[in-house]
Structure 1
C-alpha cells in the first residue's frame, strides 16, 4: 500500500454546525492506539463520519494507519466521508485523489468500507430560503455537478467503496410547505437515481429535528420524500445539541421508517454543545461528551431498528488528544471490555 501526502489549501466559507465542529477539532492526534487489522470489538457502533480538513494533510502514512486502526478497533465497519470538497464560494477546494486513495486502501486493510460524500455546494445555504426560481436553479446546477463528479470518479471501482452520501442535512424548518417539499423530492429523486446508477445502491442523507420554531413537520417531509425517492435516511439523535428531549421529537420518523420497512441508520452524537454568546450557530462551541451519556444513547440506538449505529464522530470526539476525548475513549472501551 502506497501512502500519499499532498497539501490542501482550504478556507472557511459560510459556517454551519458541522463546519464549525470540524474546524474546532481538525485532525486531532490519535493517541497510542493499537488493534489487530481486520478485527473490531463490539462497542455499540458500526460506523463513523470522518471530515477531512486542512490539517489532515499533515498526517503521514503511519499516522493514518493508527487513525484507521483506532476506528476499526472501536467497531467501525463503515466510514462515511462527510464530503470530498466544497464548491462555490470564494475559495472552493477539493481533496486530492492520492489522499482519498490512502483512506480507501487503509480502510480496506482494516476491514472497513468507505461511503463517499459528494462535493458540498456552498450555495445550499442561500438556496434554503431562496424564492422558487432561484432554488430551482441551485437544484439544477448541483444535480449536474454531482452527476459529473460521480461519472468521473474512480471510487466505485475500489473494493472498499460503499456508495454515495449526499452532504446536505434535511430538517423540517426550511421545508414547511407541500410545494417546497415537492421541489426537494424532485431534486433528490433525480440525484438518488444517478447515485444508484453509479454505485448500485441508494445514497444516504442525514436528517435531524430542528429546534427552531416552524410549521413544518419532519414526519411529513419524509413521507413526501419516501413516496417518490430511493434514499437511505441517516437520522441524527440530536442529543449533542438539543438534549434528551430530541429523541421524542424524532420518534415519529423512526416509527414511519419501521412501518415502511425502509433501511436506515441512526447517528449518535459524541459531543455536547457549550453555551455561546451568539444563538445563530456562528459561534458554536462543543466538547466530548461523557461516557455515561453516550452509553444511554447507545442503549437507545439499539431499540430503533436501525441497520447501523453511526458515531458523529469517533475522530475527534473519542479518538482525539483532548483530555475529555481520552476519557471518553477509555471509559467506552472499559464499558465494553
Structure 2
C-alpha cells in the first residue's frame, strides 16, 4: 500500500509542473481609459466597466491624461476641480479623477494616473528643449495637486504615475535631442520620486520599422536608461505597434527581443507590453485570436501586459458583448473556440439611382456569433465590416459600398468571408462577377 502511495505521489509531482506550465498563458493585467470615452458615463456604466475589468482578472486601470494644454499655453485644462490660478476645468462640477478612483476602489482595482499632455509634443518634443522642460514643470505642479487631492483617501488604490508623452524611434536622434529628453524625464521623475517613492512610474514608447532599426532603438534606450533616474519597480511598457501599423505580426517580436536587452541594463526596471487591440486601417477591434497572438509573441520578453485598450475596443459598454465573452473564456481556459462561421451566400449587387453601387450578401451562421465580414475584389481584400459600436450609425453588417472607380468594360469578381469574435474565418462565398458598364 505504501509503495502504491509513493508511486502515485511521484506521478503527481511529475505532472504538476506540466499542468502549471499549461496554465501560464498570457493575459492582460490592465487597460487604458481616456476621458473622451467616459465623459458621458453615469455611475451604473462605470460600475459595469469596473466589473468587466475585474472579472477578467485585471489589476490596473490607466486613466490618462488628467489634464492637457494647447499650443504654448502655460496653463492646464483639467478633468478634476483645480485650485491652480489660471487653470481651467474642462467640465466644471465634474470630477472624473474622483470617479475613476471611487469606482476602481469599489471593484478592488488599482489606478495608474496619467499626467498632462500637449499636442505640440509631435512638433516640438524633440526640437525644443525649453518647451519640453516647461511641460515637465507644469506636470509637476499637476502631480502635486493630484497627489494632495486623492492620495490621502485612496492610498490603497493609487498605484503609480503614467507619463503620457510617447517617445518614438525618430524624434530624439542626435546627442542634443537625446540629452534634452533625458533632462526632461529627470525633471519629472525626480519630482515624483521625492513626492512619493512608493508610486511607480510607467511610460509607453512606440516604434516604426520603416523609420529605423531595432538595433538602433535598443542602443538608444541603453543610453537613456543609463542617465534617467528610473527606480527598481518602474515600468517600461512599449506599445507593440501592431495595431498602429509601425510594426506587424511578422516583426514585432524581434523588436521586443532587442528592447529586452536594453531593459536588462537598468537594474530593477520592469518590462511590460502595451498590446494594441485595434486595427488602424479601419479603426475596428482586432479579433481576440489576434490579440492573444500579439501577447504570445511578446511573452518571452516581458513580465506583464497592459492594453490599449480593452475598455475602448472590447468592453460591452462600447461594442458587442461577444468580444468580452470570447476573451473571458480564453482567460479562464487558455483556449479559444475554433469553429469558423459558415460561408456567406447569395451575393448580389445593387445599383442606386445616384450611381452608388452596393454589394449585399446573406448572413453567415456561427456557434458564438459573427463579428463581421471581409470583402474581396479580384482576390484582394478591399474592406471589412464589423458589428457596430455603441451609438454607431452603420448601415448594415452585410453590405459594402464600392468606393473605387471601376474601369468600364472590365470584369470584377467579388467574394466575401465571415469572421467570428475569436478570429476564425469562413470559407469564401461563391464569387459574384460584375462587368462595369
Q: TM-score, normalised by structure 1?
A: 0.76
Give the Cα–Cα distance (whole angstroms) in 2 for the partners of residues 156 and 217 of structure 1.
Answer: 39
Q: Which of 227, 243, 264 does residue 248 from structure 2 map onto?
A: 243
Residue in 1 aligned with 2:275?
268
**Alignment pair present for 1:313 and 2:309:** yes
Q: Which of 69, 80, 101 does residue 96 from structure 1 map onto?
A: 80
String of CA shifts for 1:104-158, please: whole Å, max 9, x gaps.
011011111111110112321221353xxxx122123112211111122223332
Q: Which of 15, 40, 44 does residue 58 from structure 1 map onto?
A: 40
Q: TM-score, normalised by structure 2?
A: 0.59
Instruction: Point out where structure 1 has 5 or more consecutive residues left out of the alignment.
Output: 1-41, 275-284
Q: Which of 68, 71, 74 does residue 53 from structure 2 map onto?
A: 71
String of CA shifts for 1:50-77, please: whole Å, max 9, x gaps.
1111x52321111111111111112220
Q: Is the 8 A contact 2:133 2:187 kept in 1?
A: no
Q: Is the 8 A contact 1:288 1:317 kept in 2?
A: yes
Give the Cα–Cα distance (whole angstroms) in 2 for the partners of residues 128 and 89 of structure 1.
Answer: 12
Q: Which of 28, 39, 44 does residue 27 from structure 2 map onto?
A: 44
Q: Is the 8 A contact 1:176 1:217 kept in 2?
A: no
Residue in 2 aligned with 1:146?
139
Residue 84 of structure 1 deviates from its aligned partner by 0.7
Query: Alignment partner of 2:283: what SS?
Result: strand
Q: Which of 148, 172, 189 does residue 192 from structure 1 map onto?
A: 189
Query: Alignment partner of 2:165: what SS?
Result: strand
Q: Is the 8 A contact 2:56 2:331 kept in 1?
A: no
TM-align CA RMSD: 2.4
Whichever structure has more strand as a proportion of its residues is 2
Give the Cα–Cα distance (whole angstroms) in 2 for the partners of residues 230 and 72 of structure 1.
Answer: 33
Whichever structure has more helix as a proportion of its residues is 1
Give the Cα–Cα distance (whole angstroms) in 2 for the partners of residues 195 and 315 of structure 1.
Answer: 28
Residue 303 of structure 1 deviates from its aligned partner by 2.0
The equivalences for 1:17-36 within 5 A come to none
Query: Alignment partner of 1:86: what SS?
Result: strand
Residue in 1 aligned with 2:384?
none
Q: Is the 8 A contact 1:170 1:206 kept in 2?
A: yes
Give the Cα–Cα distance (whole angstroms) in 2 for the partners of residues 331 and 202 of structure 1.
Answer: 32
Number of positions where the alignment pairs a residue of Structure 1 with one of Structure 2: 279
**Alignment pair present for 1:222 and 2:221:** yes
Residue 100 of structure 1 deviates from its aligned partner by 1.2
Larger radius of gyration: 2
Report the CA distance shift for 1:295/1:140 in structure 2 as closer, same or farther (over 3 A).
closer
Residue in 2 aligned with 1:331?
326
The equivalences for 1:251-290 within 5 A come to 251-258=257-264, 260-261=266-267, 262-274=269-281, 285-290=282-287
Query: Alignment partner of 2:263: what SS?
Result: helix
Query: Alignment partner of 1:83: what SS?
Result: coil
> Which range moves more in the overlay, 121-130 or 67-76?
121-130
Residue 321 of structure 1 deviates from its aligned partner by 5.4
> Which range moves more in the overlay, 117-126 or 107-116?
117-126
Q: Which protein, 1 or 2, shows the higher relative CO under an 8 Å CA cutoff with sep ≥ 6? A: 1
Instruction: Point out where structure 2 has 5 or more consecutive residues left out of the alignment.
Output: 1-24, 82-94, 333-437
String of CA shifts for 1:200-220, please: whole Å, max 9, x gaps.
144111112223424892212
Q: Which of 82, 86, 92 does residue 68 from structure 2 map onto?
A: 86
**Alignment pair present for 1:116 and 2:113:** yes
Give the Cα–Cα distance (whole angstroms) in 1 for the partners of residues 170 and 271 of structure 2.
Answer: 22
